[in-house]
Chain A
């Protein structure tokens, strides 16, 4: 899932076009990165509408600050950092306590309905399979929602998005060793939560 060299170069070219006032070049970047950004935002805040707002704000912020972007970094990573920061702010606003409520089987996942609508009908699975899959997705997201912010971040970046420790370290501005130990604990928390939610793993 790591970005290859070519993609990075392409982004840099587009970025320099944007700096010269080319709005269309920015649109290419928006189309290219919005999905992954939305995924990160959604996994962070657990709400589709909030996630959509976050990535809109993230792109506006990126456009305004495009001069501050350092060419040696990856533009994608820079964008994700903005998304992470905005997501953290949103979580703080939404009162973390609400999101940290222990996940319960009876509760529908907060993003359940909106998520189900966007579910792509990939290779036509049976309705039952679809429902089951949706159910699992909701439960996993429910457990992520219930996690502490710093655990959430490492789980999302490492296990959901598959970034390297180096990249994660760059985005979160924390050393790799801290990330590894935090990830270990985060997986443990999630394992326990899933065990509770699924009954058995």
Chain B
């Protein structure tokens, strides 16, 4: 047997994992071969070195760290949440909840105050339009004043300064411009002239504005409601008195509105008590029935009382 072949077998030879036939051959070779003996010794030493390698001690935190990972794995829902919001951790869910809450609160608040905004909207619109109109009135008046001033000055200038220049070619040109200017000024004055009439216009507008939502209201109310107009001295107190009267007669106030210049009170009341109500209201002011109250109606009817300041 050659050294090379023997050396190949030595690994198995050491372990005893070799056929008896081969073992005899190897043993025989080793008796005579120093080189292979050396090889065998080295191999044995190598194996003993490896055997003597120590076990590696895991760090103290190892079990804990592994178990933390396992517990995270054991709760898959939590794992998914963690993965979803990993970069933000807990922030996003909290923010999302906050946003939803704010949205809900906003909607809720808006819904609860909506009738009040309706109530408040009309007068505020009125005041703003009033202010606007007033501003316009004053500015228009000022403009008118200015224009008349300018016109006067212009005409004076025209006569004073332009007359000497009226000689020559420029004269006709000037005249032309003057002529064209003059109607312009007049036109402007024409515009400014109704400034005295503007307040009345404004008033008309003011009345027209609050009147606008009225058709809407009448559309909303039932067709068979009975309308009154009550002319009173003081709308506020009269309104309270009428409301009180309605309640005293077991009526139910369904709506109160304040539209420019008048308060409208909508209520439901037993038809039998209607006469009594009208009598009571008469204490507050003169009552006008828009249409003749039909006596024949039974049960609860809707009434609509317009409280207007005495003219």
Query: What is the interface of chain A, defined by CB distance below 8 A to chain B?
Result: 21, 23, 26-27, 30-31, 34-36, 38-39, 42-43, 48, 51-52, 55-56, 59-60, 63-64, 115, 118-120, 136-137, 140-141, 144, 155, 159-160, 180, 183-184, 187-188, 190-191, 194-195, 201
Q: Give complex CA distance A13, B71 in Å.
A: 20
A191 engages B50 (CB within 8 Å):
no
How many Å from the CB of A31 to the closest CB on chain B? 6
B49 engages A136 (CB within 8 Å):
yes
B53 engages A43 (CB within 8 Å):
yes
Interface centre among B12, B17, B53, B74 (most CB of A within 10 A): B53
A31 engages B56 (CB within 8 Å):
no
How many Å from the CB of A14 to the closest CB on chain B? 13
- Contact among A35, A36, A180, A188 for B12, CB-based, below 8 A: A180
B42 engages A195 (CB within 8 Å):
yes
Residues of A near B74 (CB, < 8 A) are: 21, 23, 63
A-B contact pairs, 8 of them (CB 8 A): A26-B70, A35-B58, A43-B56, A55-B66, A118-B56, A120-B57, A136-B49, A144-B50
B70 engages A23 (CB within 8 Å):
yes
A35 engages B50 (CB within 8 Å):
no
- Contact among B11, B52, B56, B69 for A187, CB-based, below 8 A: B11
- Contact among A23, A48, A56, A191 for B56, CB-based, below 8 A: A48
Q: Give complex CA distance A92, B53 in Å.
A: 24
Total residues of chain B contacting the partner, CB 8 A = 33
B43 engages A187 (CB within 8 Å):
yes
Residues of B near A30 (CB, < 8 A) are: 63, 66-67, 70
- Whether a CB of chain A sits under 8 angstroms from the CB of B311 is no
Residues of A near B7 (CB, < 8 A) are: 188
> Which residue from chain B places its CB closest to the CB of A165 in the assembled complex?
B17
Q: Give complex CA distance A23, B72 in Å.
A: 11
The 8 A CB mask of B140-180 against A (1 = contact, 0 = none) is: 00000000000000000000000000000000000000000
Beyond the given A30-B70, A137-B52, please list 12 additional residue pairs across the A-B interface where CB-CB is below 8 A: A23-B67, A34-B58, A36-B55, A63-B73, A115-B56, A140-B50, A155-B50, A180-B17, A184-B8, A187-B43, A191-B45, A201-B45
> Which residue from chain B places its CB closest to the CB of A58 in the assembled complex?
B66
- Whether a CB of chain A sits under 8 angstroms from the CB of B113 is no
Residues of A near B58 (CB, < 8 A) are: 34-35, 38, 52, 55
- Contact among B41, B57, B69, B73 for A35, CB-based, below 8 A: B57
A51 engages B63 (CB within 8 Å):
no
- Whether a CB of chain A sits under 8 angstroms from the CB of B1 is no
Residues of B near A31 (CB, < 8 A) are: 63
How many Å from the CB of B50 to the closest CB on chain A? 4
Residues of B near A36 (CB, < 8 A) are: 55
B53 engages A184 (CB within 8 Å):
no
- Whether a CB of chain A sits under 8 angstroms from the CB of B290 is no
How many Å from the CB of A15 to the closest CB on chain B? 14
